A = this chain, B = another copy of it.
Amino acid sequence: MRTDTTFKRAFNDMIEIIRTLDLGEELPSENALRAQLGVSRTTVRKVLAGMAARGIIMSEAHRRIIRKQPRQKERYPKEETLAISEQVETSFMEWMLRGDACPGTEINETELARKFGVATTIIREFLNRFQKYGLIEKRQNAGWVFKGFTASFALELFEIREMFEMRSARLFATLPDGSPVWKQIQAMRAAHLELLADIDARFQDFSELDSRFHRLITAVAPNRFIESFQDVIAMVFHYHYQWNKRDERARNEVAIREHLALIEALESRNVASIDRACRLHLTSARETLLRSIMQ
Query: Is there contact, CB below 8 Å, between A156 and B225?
Result: yes
Chain B CB count within 10 A is highest, among A128, A134, A224, A225, for: A225
Residues of A at the B interface (CB closer than 8 Å) are: 6, 39-40, 121, 124-125, 128-129, 131-132, 134, 141, 147, 153, 156-157, 159-160, 163-164, 167, 222-226, 228-229, 232
User: How far is it, in angstroms, between the C-alpha of A10 and the C-alpha of B134 when the chains are bound?
Assistant: 30
Q: Which residues of B contact A6 (CB under 8 A)?
A: 141
Query: Is there contact, CB below 8 Å, between A224 and B163?
Result: no
Residue in B closest to A2 when the chains form the complex, CB atoms: B141
A135 to chain B, nearest CB (A): 9
User: How far is it, in angstroms, between the C-alpha of A30 and the C-alpha of B124 when the chains are bound?
Assistant: 31
Contact of A163 among B124, B134, B167, B228 (CB under 8 A): B167
Query: Is there contact, CB below 8 Å, between B228 and A132?
Result: yes
A–B pairs, 21, beta carbons within 8 Å: A6-B141, A39-B141, A40-B141, A121-B121, A124-B125, A125-B125, A128-B129, A131-B132, A132-B132, A134-B224, A134-B225, A147-B224, A153-B224, A156-B222, A159-B223, A160-B223, A160-B225, A160-B226, A163-B164, A163-B167, A225-B232
Q: Which residues of B contact A164 (CB under 8 A)?
A: 163
Residue in B closest to A229 when the chains form the complex, CB atoms: B225
Query: Is there contact, CB below 8 Å, between A156 and B125?
Result: no
Additional A-B contacts beyond A128-B128, A156-B222 (13; CB < 8 A): A39-B141, A125-B128, A128-B129, A132-B132, A134-B224, A134-B228, A156-B224, A157-B225, A160-B225, A160-B226, A163-B163, A163-B164, A225-B229
